[in-house]
Amino acid sequence: FLEAVGDYKRAEEIRLGLFFLMDVLTIQDLLRFLSHLADAIIRISLERITGDHNLCVVGLGKLGGREITFGSDLDIIFLSDSPDGVKAAERVIKTLTTYTDKGMLYNVDVRLRPDGSKGALVKDIAGYRNYYLRSAHPWELQALLRARPVAGDLRAGRAFMEMGREVLMQRGKEVKREDIHAMRERIVSELSQEAAGMDIKLGPGGIEEIEFYVQFLQLQHVSESPEILVQNTPVAINRLAKKRILDVKERETLFNAYEY
């Protein structure tokens, strides 16, 4: 199974990469289709796991925003009200990260779950609601902006999205400019590779700086304009401009820099 799925993944990545190089696909098409590929592989991995576990896999980060690229990690969390949910989640992670002679399917990061690496791997909807409404840090509310169900129980996925909307409408304005600035400074100093040259993803003025700015605007205005609650960064920029939170020049500057 792992070899077959691995061959499928590599073939699709080569096909999509060639279409991009041939200008058949735009960069946004490429990222979206690579994200669809990850969705499909998570779903087929989950389908192999039997049992009444009612598991839902929720994508965050680049996966949630449909913006993963070649070699991206998958940020995921798990939702279930079944006692077997934890075992099922562990098996999904094992399937995606097991090494074969051709490598593994994906690196999986589950540290965005409540309480991080020390927290429970799986929670039910009440557990997530209680955590996000009462205990979530500003960066966790920011991460919730990009949450998207990618596989498993559809009803649970819809319930999670409704919960996330409720939380962000109530708590979005709690995230201050200082919180975003402090997080960016920490990322630049601890994670970026600026010392070795320009880091276009994590460095000052890079991709993540645009994402953080757009997410800050979403958090500040979502209670008055729920339409801006979208996961994808270019779509969010356009929605913010449509609601006149960004003017035309600001929209063009952000959109063009991000696409470049």
- In angstroms, the CA 199 to CA 40 distance is 31
Q: Is 44:37 a contact under the CB 8 Å cutoff?
A: no
Tens digits of residue pLDDT in 188-200: 999 888 888 889 9
Tens digits of residue pLDDT in 188-242: 999 888 888 889 999 998 999 999 999 999 999 999 999 999 999 999 999 999 9
Residue 89 has φ and ψ, to the nearest 5°, of: -65, -45
Q: Could you tell me the sign of the dihedral formed by the alpha carbons of 32, 37, 38, 42, in that order? A: positive
Q: Within 10 A of 45 (CB to CB), how many other CB atoms are there?
A: 22
Q: Within 10 A of 167 (CB to CB), how many other CB atoms are there?
A: 19
Q: Is 128:114 a contact under the CB 8 Å cutoff?
A: yes
Task: Say which DSSP state 172 is in.
Answer: G
- In angstroms, the CA 204 to CA 207 distance is 9
Phi-psi group of 246: left, alpha or beta (phi > 0 → left; psi -120 to 50 → alpha; rest → beta): beta
Tens digits of residue pLDDT in 64-88: 999 999 999 999 999 999 888 999 9
pLDDT higher than 60, residue 52: no
pLDDT higher than 80, residue 142: yes
Length of the chain: 260
